[in-house]
Amino acid sequence: MIMQNIWHKNAIIYSLDVETFMDSNGDGVGDFQGLIERLDYLSGLGINCLWLLPFYPSPNRDNGYDVMDYYNVDPRLGTLGDFVEFMDRAREQGIHVLIDLVVNHTSIEHPWFQAARTDKNSKYRHYYVWSENPPQDDVEEIVFPHAEDSIWEYDQQAEAYYLHHFYKEQPDLNIANSEVREEIRKIINFWLQLGVSGFRVDAVPYLIKEIGVQAERHELESFLSEMREFLSLRRADAVLLAEANVSPDLTCVYFGQGDRMNMLFNFYLNQQMFLALARQEANPIIDALKSLPKIPKQAQWLNFVRHHDELNLNQLENTQREEIFQVFAPEEAMQIYKGRGIRRRLPPMFGGDRRRIELTYSLLFSLPGIPLLRYGDEIGMGDDLSLSDRDSVRTPMQWSSGQNGGFSTSDPEKLTQPMISQGEYSYKSVNVAASQRDPNSLLNWMDRLIRIRKQCSELGWGNWQILDTGEPCVFAHSCEWNNKTVIAVHNLADKSCSIALKLDGSYYLDDLFGDHQYEVPGESHTISLEAYGYRWFRLNPIKP
Ligand code: NOJ
């Protein structure tokens, strides 16, 4: 058996967009040199894996998810040389780097598409999916319903329609074509050779869709195994993290028998978690965990609260979505894509209630799997609803109360995105420097959370179990691995309570972490919890 270093079973992942993280040359755009300057901060925070959003040359119709050149760095962000320097420094700090692999589609400006549209006989014509007479009945397939009314766009030059699940400026690649698969392997290899630990694979369900292509579903799916085999043979510890927002019964397509994607974003659990938070009831989380299939031993779930997109609630029923909107996004401007999701960051959704923010991150870090943080989560950054679509949650990192929040020395007009400079979440009050000075800040709390999580490998590796609490508002679970067990208890409601866990009397609970200095639970295993309280324990045998 190939010995693999399975680092991703217990990683703490932090995602950022180089463009909005730190600007080193004062042009208003974040860059790799800026990110290099901030690696000490990231390593100090304790994260051990970075996921970088697309940094390739792009016309930026979709925040870089429309790639023009897979082998280069957007010149606004630096050069390939800067990238290699960054990789070197990240390795020194013990930080793995995942990058986005956006190969469901290219930019319309990619040379492949340009060749494909102008010359019917070009080999690039077959890199994309064409139709002279596309079906009209696939509106359900449109990902951005506010901007597009079809997944087919007529191209005058090509005299045919091309497929695009996302914006029309993002024509879908045809992975049924073996030459396209070969191109994807080359891209993977290129970045592996530059030292990345793997890829966040964009839009995987669309990559393997049969629409318009001459291939059976299983042939398309087999590409997931091909990709993985190629990757693992080149670098045994590299991973593929799939963006696949699918129902639990379909996750096996993506994990395979442990031979496809190493990790999946846990979209299903994420949506049910928000339902639980809105209802102040544990049941949706319990049901979600129970409906997720057992995954291969070396596979992993990546849990998250928010990321760079909307909070997508598409797997919930209309009434459930409405419940969440009422509590967390009552105004239409807070919602997005015809009521499919929410375009807010977490703290404003909770009216800045620190107790609920802590509760949610404590939950995130203790759920079976591993956690994802997004830049700014650690200091409680807010959103800017005056910006369009998902830009509301893509404002630059807030480093200090100085000019442009310490992000850039440029003229504010030139910033790639405006800073949040007004109100409760302004960089003047919410920033890294102020948070570091304040022992009670969210940042210092998050630091502690990360430290404790790193001591609880059971949560990444272990078998989990739901614990009966008798209180509908309390979610309690245990994770056991290598004869060690962690128990976490979360009170989702705004009233305090007390629960008694039914545990074997020969064990006691060692307090690891919590929202308060509570009394040590006695032999009865009775646990008190404040409103929105949370506690983590390790189960230890009582010595005879
Ligand atoms: C998923 C990405 O997260 C999103 O930002 C993007 O718009 C689509 N894929 C298309 O690439």
Tens of pLDDT, residue by residue over 345-394, are 999 999 999 999 999 999 999 999 999 999 999 999 999 999 999 999 99
Residue 339 has pLDDT above 90, yes or no: no
Mutate to test the pocket of ligand 1, among 309, 343, 372, 388 (most ligand atoms within 8 A of CB): 309
Q: What is the model's pLDDT at position 2?
A: 41
Protein residue with least CA distance to atom 4, ligand 1: 309
- Name the DSSP class of 378: G
Q: What is the model's pLDDT at position 190?
A: 98
Q: What is the model's pLDDT at position 378?
A: 98
pLDDT one-digit tens code per residue, 298-331: 999 999 999 999 999 999 999 999 999 999 999 9
Q: Catalytic annotation on 202?
A: yes
Q: Over pLDDT 90: what percentage of the chain?
A: 93
Ligand 1 centroid–CA 147 distance in Å is: 14
The tokens of 496 are what? 């305090």
Cα gap 29→254, rounded to integer Å: 36
Nearest CA among 427, 414, 373, 420 for reference residue 392: 420
Nearest CA among 528, 538, 531, 532 for reference residue 488: 538
Q: What are phi and psi of 354, to 5 degrees?
A: -55, -35
- Return the bridge partners of 49, or none: 13, 96
pLDDT one-digit tens code per residue, 430-477: 999 999 999 999 999 999 999 999 999 999 999 999 999 999 999 999
Ligand 1 centroid–CA 25 distance in Å is: 28
Cα gap 358→361, rounded to integer Å: 5
pTM: 0.97
The amino acid that residue 134 corresponds to is P
Q: What is the model's pLDDT at position 505?
A: 82
Give CA separation, 457 vs 336, 366, 369, in Å. Answer: 37, 10, 10
Mean pLDDT within 283-300 = 96
Contact residues of ligand 1, CB 6 A cut-off: 62-63, 65, 102, 166, 202-203, 243, 309
Catalytic residue among 202, 358, 471, 515: 202
Give CA separation, 380 vs 97, 352, 389, in Å. Answer: 24, 8, 21
Give CA separation, 490 vs 51, 89, 183, 451, 461, in Å. Answer: 28, 38, 47, 19, 21
Beta strands of 228-316 (E only): which ranges? Answer: 239-242, 263-265, 300-304, 311-312
Beta strands of 121-212 (E only): which ranges? Answer: 130-131, 152-155, 160-163, 198-201
Give 5's pLDDT tier (boundaries 50, 70, 90): low
Residue bearing the bigger pLDDT, 521 or 71: 71
Mean pLDDT within 85-93 = 98
Cα gap 219→6, rounded to integer Å: 28
Residue 522 has pLDDT above 80, yes or no: no
Q: Which of the residue ranges 2-6, 231-235, 328-332, 479-483 would you say has the lowest mean pLDDT?
A: 2-6
Ligand 1 centroid–CA 104 distance in Å is: 10
Q: In what order do the strands lie in the sheet with 335-336?
A: 311-312, 341-342, 335-336
Cβ contact 342:316 at 8 Å? no
Q: What is the model's pLDDT at position 249?
A: 97
Residue 414 has pLDDT above 70, yes or no: yes
Ligand 1 centroid–CA 166 distance in Å is: 8
Mean pLDDT within 124-146 = 92
* Lookup result for tokens 């703290």: 347
- Name the DSSP class of 173: B
Protein residue with least CA distance to atom 11, ligand 1: 65
pLDDT one-digit tens code per residue, 233-274: 999 999 999 999 999 999 999 999 999 999 999 999 999 999
DSSP string, 36-71: HHTHHHHHHHT--EEEEPP-S----TTTT-S-S-TT
Ligand 1 centroid–CA 277 distance in Å is: 26
Q: Where along the chain do its domains lie?
A: 2-104+178-453, 111-163, 463-541
Domain 2-104+178-453 architecture: Alpha-Beta Barrel (3.20)
Name the class of domain 111-163.
Answer: alpha beta
Q: In what order do the strands lie in the sheet with 160-163?
A: 130-131, 160-163, 152-155
Nearest CA among 104, 248, 120, 124 for reference residue 187: 104
Mutate to test the pocket of ligand 1, among 15, 56, 61, 65 (most ligand atoms within 8 A of CB): 65
Q: What is the model's pLDDT at position 1?
A: 38
Mutate to test the pocket of ligand 1, among 62, 63, 173, 389 (most ligand atoms within 8 A of CB): 62
Mean pLDDT within 22-48 = 98
DSSP string, 306-361: --SS-EE-TTS-HHHHHHHHHHH--SGGGEETTTTEE---HHHHTTT-HHHHHHHH
The tokens of 438 are what? 């304040």
Residue 506 has pLDDT above 90, yes or no: no
Name the class of domain 463-541.
Answer: mainly beta
Give 338's pLDDT tier (boundaries 50, 70, 90): confident
pLDDT one-digit tens code per residue, 171-230: 999 999 999 999 999 999 999 999 999 999 999 999 999 998 989 999 999 999 999 999
Give 521's pLDDT tier (boundaries 50, 70, 90): confident
The minimum-distance atom of ligand 1 relative to the CA of 309 is: 5
Mean pLDDT of the chain: 96
Residue 3 has pLDDT above 50, yes or no: no
Nearest CA among 475, 453, 51, 54 for reference residue 263: 51
Residue 524 has pLDDT above 80, yes or no: no
Protein residue with least CA distance to atom 7, ligand 1: 62
Protein residue with least CA distance to atom 3, ligand 1: 309
Mean pLDDT within 111-129 = 97
Exposed / middle / buried, residue 170 (Cβ in 10 Å: 0-12, 13-18, 19+): buried
Q: Catalytic annotation on 383?
A: no
Residue 544 has pLDDT above 80, yes or no: no
Catalytic residue among 82, 155, 169, 243: 243
Cβ contact 441:379 at 8 Å? yes
Residues 6+ apart with CB under 8 A from 371: 12, 13, 302, 303, 304, 364, 365, 453
Mutate to test the pocket of ligand 1, among 202, 267, 311 (most ligand atoms within 8 A of CB): 202
Protein residue with least CA distance to atom 5, ligand 1: 309
